[in-house]
Amino acid sequence: MKTCLGVPTLVLLFSLTFLLCSVTLLRMGDLEEQRAVIKFFAKTGAMPMECWNKLKEGFGNQTVTPKTVCQWFRKFNSGITSIKDKQRPGHPKSVRMPANIQKVQDRLQQDRCSSLQDLSDDVGIKTSSLYTILKKDLHLSKLAPKFVPKVLTNEQKRFRMKLCQDNIDSLKSDPSFLSRIVTGDKCWVSLLEVELKKDSKEWYPKGTHAERPLKAIRNRSLRKVMVTVFFDDSGAVLVEFLPPGETVNEDYYCEILRTLKERIRCNRPHLWGGGRNEDHKFLLHHDNVSPHTSVLTLALIGSSGIDMVPHPPTPLILRLAIFFFSLASSLNCVGTSTGTWQT
């Protein structure tokens, strides 16, 4: 929003500025006159308060404070003869010069994790000025890395892309590929899940100003139990809780696989094959933890004729359900997208 100032307003501003400058000059003149009086009393051996009382009679409200009188007494007694202020250097020179900016940039090229104090010690610039250079001249901001449990290597990424491409080819040749997959995973669950505050909200007529209900705070149970879940596109196939005092090892997992086979035979007959070899139509998918890849587990899977869906190298932040949800979304869009795949 622009403001237009008329000629009378500009004249008034100029007059006020001139008046302030005149008052400042008069004030400086009064100070020098008072210092001359203080110098006289200091040379005669008078006391500072006696000098201040005489200044009060002559200058009234413009008199300097008794503390200032004592300070000038000490100066004149120490040998200072001038009643004028010392010359000041004026506005300090700025350190935001091209040479200093380049020095800071070169230092950051060597170590981008340097703190402000480390940079200040190396380049010889105050932290406040250094911060201004980093923000306004170099347009930098310190960004912390995102910590993840695992980072895939290039070889693992290529292997992951190969398995994904194999799954796409399998879907093209068999439209029921995704519906045949039975995925298994494990997780810890609390024995008592606390109701969230938003789940406790109640509907009231608008304008009634009903008193908010009270509810005691409950903490989540510290006791947990591990649950193993196998599911397909129709829902859960098997939910198994780990008995107290046991651990998930190859014997426990093999027993779960035997239970899973029986559950699929009873509840998912369309995924159960016939014949002497009992060829199964379902495809088993689980991650690569040690109970799943042990010799005993692999021998049971091979003797049962269960086909496996290879699990690609996956960061631990990706769970199996999330992986297959994204895989299903990608496969359903095959042939309709015009974009390119990017890692």
> Using CA atoms, how far apart are residues 44 and 282, in angstroms rounded to an integer?
113
200 falls within a domain: no
| 259 and 305 belong to one structural domain | yes
- Spatial CB neighbours of 58, under 8 Å, sequence gap ≥ 6: 37
Contact 48, 17 (CB under 8 A): no
Regarding whether 299 and 174 lie in a shared domain, the answer is yes
Asked if 174 and 109 sit in the same domain, the reply is no
Q: Are residues 246 and 281 in the same domain?
A: yes
Rounded to 5 degrees, φ, ψ at 167 are -65, -35
Q: Is residue 91 part of a domain?
A: no
177: closest CA among 41, 307, 342?
307
- The first and second tokens of residue 235, run together, are 């829902």
Q: What is the pLDDT of residue 226?
A: 87
Residues 38 and 173 in one domain: no
Residues 184 and 299 reside in one and the same domain: yes
Cβ atoms within 10 Å, residue 162? 12
In-domain check, residue 4:
no
Please give the structure tokens belonging to residue 15. Answer: 């007059």
pLDDT of residue 295: 92
Q: What is the pLDDT of residue 257?
A: 92
Q: Are 293 and 249 in contact (CB under 8 A)?
A: no
Same domain, 187 and 229: yes
Give, for all 343 residues of the chain, the pLDDT tens digit: 444 445 456 545 555 554 444 444 335 557 778 788 888 888 888 888 888 887 777 777 778 888 888 888 888 888 888 878 777 666 566 788 888 889 888 988 888 888 888 888 888 888 888 888 888 888 888 888 777 767 788 888 888 888 888 888 988 888 888 888 888 888 888 776 667 777 777 777 766 666 777 777 776 666 788 889 898 888 888 988 988 888 889 999 999 999 998 898 888 888 876 533 444 588 898 888 888 889 999 999 888 888 888 888 765 444 444 445 444 444 444 333 333 333 2
User: Is 204 part of a structural domain of the chain?
Assistant: no
50 in the same domain as 15: yes
Domain final residue pick, 27, 47, 77: 77
How far is residue 306's CA from residue 182's CA, in Å, rounded to a whole number?
11
In a domain, 148, yes or no: no
Asked whether residue 89 is domain-assigned, the answer is no
User: Quick one: how far is CA 38 from the chain centroid?
Assistant: 63
On whether residue 219 sits in a domain, the answer given is: yes
Structural domains in the chain (count): 3
Nearest CA among 189, 249, 176, 185 for reference residue 225: 189
CA distance 130 to 104: 8
Look up the CATH number of the domain holding residue 286: 3.30.420.10
Question: Which residues in 89-122 are b (16+ Cβ under 10 Å) and which e?
Answer: eeeeeebeeeebeebbeeeeeeeeebeeeebbee
Report the candidate in 292, 294, 296 with the shortest Cα–Cα distance to residue 309. 292
Q: Which has the closest alpha carbon to 189: 240, 151, 117? A: 240
My answer on whether 185 and 249 are in the same domain is yes
Q: Where in the sequence is the domain holding 127, given as residue range(s)?
A: 98-137
Is 144 inside a domain boundary? Answer: no
- Domain check: are 177 and 294 in the same one? yes
Where a domain ends, among 31, 47, 77?
A: 77
CB burial of 164-197 (b: ≥16 within 10 Å; e: otherwise) equals: beebeeebeeeeebbebbbbbbbeeeeeeeeeee
Q: Say yes or no: 222 and 263 in one domain.
A: yes
234 and 294: one domain?
Answer: yes
